[in-house]
Amino acid sequence: MAGQLRVWAEVTGPLARKRLRLVFGGCLAMLGVTALTLLGVYVYSRLAQIPVERVVFSGDMQHISRQHLETLVNENLNGGFLTVDIERMRTPLERHPWVFKAVVKRRWPGALEINITEQMPIALWGEDSYLNHQGEVFTPPVYEALPELPSLQGPDGSQLQLMQHYLFIREQIQELDLQVVALNMDVLGGLVAHLHDGSELVFGRGRLQEKLARFIGVYLADLEGRKNQIRSVDLRYRHGLAVAWRTG
């Protein structure tokens, strides 16, 4: 009997009760975590069933059809409001030639907001393309030679350099009341600038700053009064230039 009492005392003693409380607390904690997990899964499953009810476009779109963008969105709408793949939605939008950047966001409840930044053409490139403000070439399905833009033509990969040359020439001669409407570069890097009055400045390769300074000096000293008679100015000489005059 005494042995049984000692065993019962050990089972019901302070240490045993503490262990029981720990075990009981652990079970409650596990039950709580399980309940919260099940609740989270249930809530997410319910939220995941929320459909995309509308798509809202924003941004200044002058060359892009909203209907075409809606078609692209519908073709790539692969889930509900919470499960739709935003990256998959954005990629085909940015493949559109006139789209520079597309930002897709969720807007509660059930809407997708798509902000479109349109390409900003700053020059015509080649026969059927444009250069954007970062010097990147883009080719729209329907090309329009916008008359207010300069025309640049050169070898593939030369667009940034050609744009820099254009900006430099334009800045230097604008005070002479001259305007560059086109700038061409051949495969060897030779430059020819076409001016608004139909005349040409033939720079050739290299030393652009030096050649342009020479032209400006001679123009102010001798050519300005006869500018309507100039057909072309050849600046490929090391220390001079040659003027071809209009006939008739």
Mean pLDDT of successive 10-residue stretches along the chain, which has 248 residues: 52 61 66 60 55 81 86 76 78 90 85 90 91 90 84 92 94 93 94 95 94 95 91 93 88
What span, in angstroms and rounded, lies between the C-alpha atoms of 19 and 11? Answer: 10
Cα four-point dihedral sign 92, 95, 99, 104: positive
- Looking at residue 197, what is its pLDDT? 92
Q: Judge: domain 54-118, CATH 3.40.50.300.
A: no
Given a contact cutoff of 8 angstroms between Cβ atoms, the answer to whether 180 and 123 are in contact is no
What span, in angstroms and rounded, lies between the C-alpha atoms of 89 and 71? Answer: 11
Residue 7, burial from CB neighbour count under 10 angstroms (0-12, 13-18, 19+)? exposed
CATH class for the domain made up of 123-245: alpha beta
- Looking at residue 18, what is its pLDDT? 62
- Looking at residue 8, what is its pLDDT? 47
- Looking at residue 101, what is its pLDDT? 93
- Looking at residue 29, what is its pLDDT? 64
How many C-beta atoms surround the C-beta of residue 135 within 10 A? Answer: 15
Q: Per-residue b/e over 53-75, b at no fewer than 16 CB within 10 Å?
A: eebebeeeeeebeeeebeebbee
Domains of the chain, residue spans? 2-48, 54-118, 123-245
Closest CA to 200 of 192, 208, 190, 212: 192
Q: What are phi and psi of 135, to 5 degrees?
A: 75, 20
Q: Give the model confidence (pLDDT) of 41-59 as tens digits.
A: 555 555 556 676 788 888 9
Given a contact cutoff of 8 angstroms between Cβ atoms, the answer to whether 244 and 213 are in contact is no
One-letter identity of residue 55: V
Strands 191-195 and 200-204, bridge-based pairing: antiparallel
E strand residue ranges, the chain = 54-58, 99-107, 111-118, 123-125, 129-131, 137-138, 151-153, 180-185, 191-195, 200-204, 230-234, 242-245
What span, in angstroms and rounded, lies between the C-alpha atoms of 109 and 90? Answer: 20
Given a contact cutoff of 8 angstroms between Cβ atoms, the answer to whether 50 and 82 are in contact is yes
Vertex 91 angle, CA 145 and 129, to 5°: 15
- Looking at residue 203, what is its pLDDT? 96
The pair of three-digit structure tokens given for residue 235, joined into one six-digit string: 């600046």
